[in-house]
Amino acid sequence: MKRKTILAAASAALALSLVLTGCGSSDSSSGDAGGSSAAESVTLTVGASPSPHAEILNDVVKPLLAQQGIELVVQEFDDYIIPNTSLESGDLDANFFQHTPYLEEFNAENGTHLAVGAEVHFETMAIYPGKVASLEELPDGGTIAVPNDTTNEARALQLLAAQGLITLKEGVGLEATVADIVENPKNLKIEEVVAAQIPNLLADVDLGVANGNYALGAGIADTAIAKEGAESEAAQTYPNVLAIREGDDRPELQALIEAITSPEVKSYIEETYAGTVIAVF
């Protein structure tokens, strides 16, 4: 009886030893697998303006990347400086808020090394009602608010010229200023103001010419009287881009570029922004 007890105890000890050894191997393998999984897990942080950029990223691009095991973190910015300096420093993996001319000018002035990863969309500039609801109601001596920065003022003036309200000096293109107005049959007053403020000033002017992103943010995009066309010079020059660092060709960034220029994003833009934002890919 005593011998059987000893044998039973020895067998139990051996079994326990084997179990523990097996657990040790399993833990080790599990640890390797966990380490491998952690190594394969990728997070991309992208800086963006709230609308429409962050909306596009959160609503469409994020789920597309999640299917590939890539987590997209979107940081929203209200200025045009920090997203670029943060991308240059490596705090961001990409940003989405600017057009190519601005990016190139920023590089030249700041010694940064940012590049276009993809051209995504064009935000139309449009004429919005203020005191009057249509171009026909615009009175002689009426006031029209336009952005006061060089690029957007030129676009606004070209849009007014396209509607026959003014005539600009031939060849001025997207460098036009109020000094280039050669005909102004209604003696319109062009009031130059900060672009972001135009939607807030519409009650004080007859008409306002505003950027698409500001119109979207103010909830007035669907009230536009006239818009830049998809074939306009501005549309060809100022598409908004996904910016990356020069030479950054990581696979996850390529996945981001493919996702942001996917049919899903194009459909989302068409269905959500009704011509205020136009996909260019």
CATH number of the domain that 68 lies in? 3.40.190.10
**Is residue 165 domain-resident?**
yes
CA distance 74 to 88: 17
- SS3 for 218? helix
CA distance 113 to 245: 6
Same domain for 169 and 254: no
| pLDDT tens readout for residues 198-214 | 999 999 999 999 999 89
CA distance 119 to 65: 18
How many domains, the chain?
Answer: 2
Same domain for 223 and 153: yes
- Residue of 147, 144, 148, 188 whose CA lies nearest to 166: 188
Task: Give residue 185's domain range.
Answer: 126-228
**Is residue 192 domain-resident?**
yes
Contacts of 76 (CB under 8 A, 6+ apart): 47, 48, 49, 50, 54
Q: End of a domain among 204, 228, 252?
A: 228
Question: Can you say how many angstroms the Cα of residue 200 is from the centroid of all Cα atoms in its chain?
Answer: 23
| pLDDT tens readout for residues 75-123 | 999 889 999 999 999 999 999 999 999 999 999 999 999 999 999 999 9
Same domain for 249 and 194: no
- DSSP class of 225: S
Extract the residue ranges of the chain whose pLDDT is less than 70: 1-40
- Cα dihedral 38, 41, 42, 45 sign: negative
